[in-house]
A and B are shown apart, each in its own frame.
Chain A
C-alpha cells in the first residue's frame, strides 16, 4: 500500500514540523530522513506520471533539491511538509510531460504558485492527519468511473478540461460536469464546507 509511508510518517516517529525545522537548519541527516520518509512515494508518483524510470530518478533528485533549497521559506511550525514535497514532485513531472508532449506550458505565475511553500502554510492541524489521507483515498475510490477518470487525467497527466474533452471524445460541458461532480463528491465525503 502506497499510503503506508505517509500514514506512518503522520502517526509515528518524528513529526513533520520537527523534520522541517531540521531541514531549515541544514542538518544533513534531516535530508536523509526526508528521503526515507517520502522518497518512495515521490518516486512512485513521478514514475506514474512520466512512465520513464531514468527520467523519474532525475525528477526525484530535482524535487528534493528544490525542497532543500526553498526550505527557508517554509513555515515549519504550521506547514504541511509532505503535501508540499508531493506538490513539487507532481509539478516537476507534469511540467516534464507537458514539455515532452509539446503541450503549452503553464504560466510562470501558476508554476511558482503551485510550488510556493506559503501555499502549504498556516493550515489547521487536522488537515494533514492520517485520518484525512485515509478518507481522501476512500472518497476517491467511491467515485464513479467517469468521475475518477477525469480526476486521474487532471492529476496524473495535467490535462485541462478542454484537453480532457479532446482526449476522451466527450463535450466540454460533460467533462466539466464530471469534474465538478467528482470534486463536490470528494468535498461531501470529507465534510468540507464550501465558503460562503
Chain B
C-alpha cells in the first residue's frame, strides 16, 4: 500500500486497534522511517492521547502521590525530618540515662547502660533495614505483584521483587501468629520445590514488612507465598498458603 492508502489508518494504529493487513503494511512504512507516515503517526498519537479528556474526573487517593514518588526513590522531606527528630530524642534519652546512672549504684547503672545500648543497636538495625527497603523500592528493575485482589478482608500481600536485591513483602490483615508458630515466606519456582525466604511475625494491627535479601531469578520464579509454620520454620511448607502473589499478572 502507498502512503495515501494508509492515511486513514494512522489514528487506528495509534489507538492500537488496526487490523491486518493494514497493520503490517503500516509497520513496514514505519520501519523504514517513511517520511510521510512516520510524522503523521506521531501527530495521530498525540491527537489520540487527548481522547483522555473524555473521562469524568476522579480524585486519586491522597497516599498515591507518596507511593509514586517512593517508587522512584524520592522520600518526602517530612519523613526525614521525623527520623532526624526521633534520632535526636533517642540520643538525648541515652545521654540522660548515662547521667542518671552515674548517680545510682554500680549494678543499676550497668543494667541501664546495657538497656540503652540495646536501644541504639535496634535503632541502627532499623535504619539499615529501612535503607535496604528503600533501595529495593526505588530500583527501576523492581517489579510489584499483589495477592488476593478484590477479596473482602483476607490476608493480603504486596510483593516487590528485585533480581539483585531480593524480595520485599508488605502484608496486611494477617493476625499475629499464635504462640509456638511463625510466618514463613516462600519463593516458589515455576517448577520445583518452594524455597524458604525467611521467618517473620506481624504487628498487632495485622501488618508486616519482611525483606529477604539476595538475588532472585524472576524468569524462573512463579509466585511468592506465605504459610504459618512451627516456630523455627520449616524446610518445606506444611500448611496451606495464606498469601499467594503470582508473578504473572492476570
Contact = CB atoms under 8 A, between A and B. Distances in A.
A179 B3 CA distance: 19
Contacts of B250: 96, 99-100, 102
A104 interface: no
Contacts of A99: 249-250
B27 interface: yes
B16 A94 contact: yes
A19 interface: no
Contacts, number: 186
B64 A39 contact: yes
Interface string B15-39: 1110100000001001000001101
Interface stretch (B41-49, B104-112, B213-221, B223-231): B41-49
A84 B67 CA distance: 21
B128 interface: no
A3 interface: yes
A128 interface: yes
A38 to B, nearest CB: 10
A179 B12 contact: yes
Interface of B: 3-4, 7-8, 11-12, 14-17, 19, 27, 30, 36-37, 39-43, 45-61, 64-65, 67-69, 71-72, 74, 140, 144, 146, 149-150, 249-250
9 contacts: A6-B53, A40-B58, A99-B250, A122-B42, A124-B43, A133-B50, A137-B54, A183-B12, A195-B3
